[in-house]
Amino acid sequence: MKDSCVSAEVVAAIDVNTIANEVYKHNFPHTQLWAKTIEGITLQEFNQLSFNMILMSPPCQPFTRIGLQGDVTDPRTKSFLYILHILPRDIFVQTLENCGFKYQEFLLSPTSLGIPNSRLRYFLIAKLQSELLSFQVPGQVLVEFPTVESADSQRHTVTIDVRKNSEERKMEPNPHCDGNTQCSGKETFLFKLETAEEMQRKLQQDSDLSVQMLKDFLEGDNDMSQYFLPPKALLRYALLLDIVQPTCRRSTCFTKGYGSYVEGTGSVLQTAEDVQIENVYMSLETLSEEEKLMKLSMLKLRYFTPREIANLHGFPPEFGFPEKITVKQCYRLLGNSLNVHVVSKLIKTLLG
């Protein structure tokens, strides 16, 4: 809400996670905080708050690819289903229409705002009004923020999927920036378990000058010793790591398992930028474990710190964690978070 610059009062924050509540209270000590499940709140209690906007992010695990995909049978959907029931509603979108709401669905990632982190999420914004929203495209899911141009005639132009094609982007490939391949002419060498399409996509991301470099989000010269990958992780996951450098313009989605698990939980940072990754990975499989570890250690790979992930999520510098919150707990909370800038722009889009 602060980032959106919309004048608003938060009448209540609700979460059942005690650690999340401690962090919230640490940063927003004067906001009323209810430590309970949403399904434990009566309609009367909701009405007493006299709110005119709900910002809600239901647990995503029941619907994600790496989850069990239990959908509405997953207990973690109870809070969302309860809201739909008491408003009262049946199927979400259909009931929005029945209740007179105008809405728009989105699939958005922070990369749309020039932030070097892929975190694709589904969003829906809705407003109780009779006319269509100025940017509304019924039946379509927008994959970019709408561009609305208002003239005296009040005509509006809605742009859908304005992402440039790879052929239109200014390409200045850095063969070492994606941490996986070396390209020379038409020749491509594979160093890790990735398809040629995946490698090309990463090169394109690193060449998109509309996206900032990761170095703009990194901490300074702090002691990073606790964040370096342990030898066991290096040996076991060498071929699966998504390695980025400070000059890269991309990073994969950070999940709540980051720091505890390696595969598919987020990118790791190569801090030895003068070391060419192809020299490390070439013929790696033919080496003994001791030799492998020696070569991999040359890259000086480390996890992103909680503060760095918070920076990528758009959390302001003054946002902090209580001292008793562990690094692991920080990662779990950040992995379940949303990008602040994406949400704030959606708020401005809805109320603008």
Tens of pLDDT, residue by residue over 170-225, are 333 333 344 444 433 333 444 566 777 888 888 899 999 999 999 999 998 789 99
CA pair distance 154, 298, nearest whole angstrom: 60
Share of the chain above pLDDT 70, in %: 78
Query: Is 248 in the active site?
Result: no
Please enumerate in sequence order all residues whose Cβ is within 8 A of that of 168, keeping only pairs 6 or more positions apart, or say none: none
For residue 138, give both structure tokens.
């019924």
Confidence of residue 163 (pLDDT cuts 50, 70, 90): very low
Catalytic residue (choose from 5, 60, 253, 330):
60
All domains of the chain in start order, with CATH: 92-163 (no CATH), 181-304 (3.90.120.10)
Tens-place pLDDT, residues 45-93 = 989 999 999 998 876 554 454 454 444 455 555 665 665 565 545 467 8
Amino acid at 283: S
Average pLDDT over residues 9-26: 95
| Phi-psi domain of 121 (left: phi exceeds 0; alpha: psi -120 through 50; beta: other) | beta
Cβ atoms of 116 and 213 closer than 8 Å: yes
Average pLDDT, the chain: 82
